[in-house]
Amino acid sequence: MGIALLIVVVLLGALVFYFDSMLQRTAALEFEGQAGNSAGSNWLLVGSDSREGLDDARREELSAGDAGGRRTDSMMLVHIPSGGGQPALISLPRDSYVAIPGHGKTKLNSAFSFGGPQLLAQTVEQNTGVHIDHYAEIGFGGFADLVDAVGGVDICLDKPMDDPMANVHLPQGCQELDGAQALGFVRARYSLDGGDLERAENQRKLLGALVDKGTSPATLINPFRLFPLASGASKTFLVNDSDHIWHLMSLALAMGDVSGGQGVTTQVPFGRFGEDSDGGSVIVWDKEKAGQMFEAINNDQPIPPELLGQ
């Protein structure tokens, strides 16, 4: 019995290190003016439009187009408190009007286009004062594959979604989305009354549904779902050079608490809509309320309830 248990432990350990070795890694998130360390840990989650690894058939299936390079459609800050407590998931809308080091004030997602993960992390830190400990990015194909690996995710819609730009056409009501549909759901923007803010809300909703399914007993005890999920996650996530698979596991547990109602999910408080120098629509944060939110995170304290849902 003892030898059998030892063999199981060794095999599980080998699998963990195997999946960890498959993770893609970016350069260290080190830059001038980096915010000081604070209690708890903070993740910057990024959804990019990278088509890397997609063949022509998969591009067509996902309506991914053929644009080169990487841009980001979604950015979220996740705070995991030290010693327990409620984790927080905060959307950082892509059209947020912020100062980007070396580039003046423009939309937040431009930082990713200008300088990749490093400049994006630097921009987030310098506009929030929150130190970024971990980074995770996933592209089009990887996201859709994770949804398919768990057998689809359940979403309830108050109204139909018909967005030709994202190639998503969903009826009103509760339904199960496959990978391609889920990708369209989180990309849809132009058909939404709330634009970028409503899309950010949908992204949080879908991420919660994915985490729920991925951490459910139906997935964890089913090797035909668990191993494709673990393999897919390890092959498609781009992480900081010091991050490992066990850090992603910790993130998944925290996200499970958020989706299960044991944490908070919200967005940066915004004051108004405006225009940038090119005439594009931007979101201007409420400086006072956003400052209070990020101060709470830096102090490893719960976000004041009056700031949630702003």
Residue found by looking up tokens 């923007």 in the block: 189
* Phi and psi at residue 65, to the nearest 5°: 70, -170
24 three-state secondary structure: strand
Separation between Cα atoms, residue 54 and residue 142, nearest integer Å: 9
Q: Which residues touch 39 (CB under 8 Å, ≥6 apart)? A: 81, 82, 299, 300
Both structure tokens of 36: 């000081």
Give me the pLDDT at residue 38, please.
83
Which residues, given as ranges, of the chain have pLDDT below 50? 1, 8, 51, 54-55, 58-59, 62, 64-65, 67-69
What are 209-212's contacts with CB under 8 Å, separation 24+?
209/153, 209/154, 209/155, 209/259, 210/146, 210/147, 210/150, 210/153, 210/182, 211/252, 211/255, 211/256, 211/258, 211/259, 212/153, 212/256, 212/259, 212/260
Decide: 138 and 238 in contact? Cβ < 8 Å. yes
The DSSP bridge partners found for residue 275 are 281
Domains of the chain as residue ranges with CATH: 1-307 (3.40.630.190)
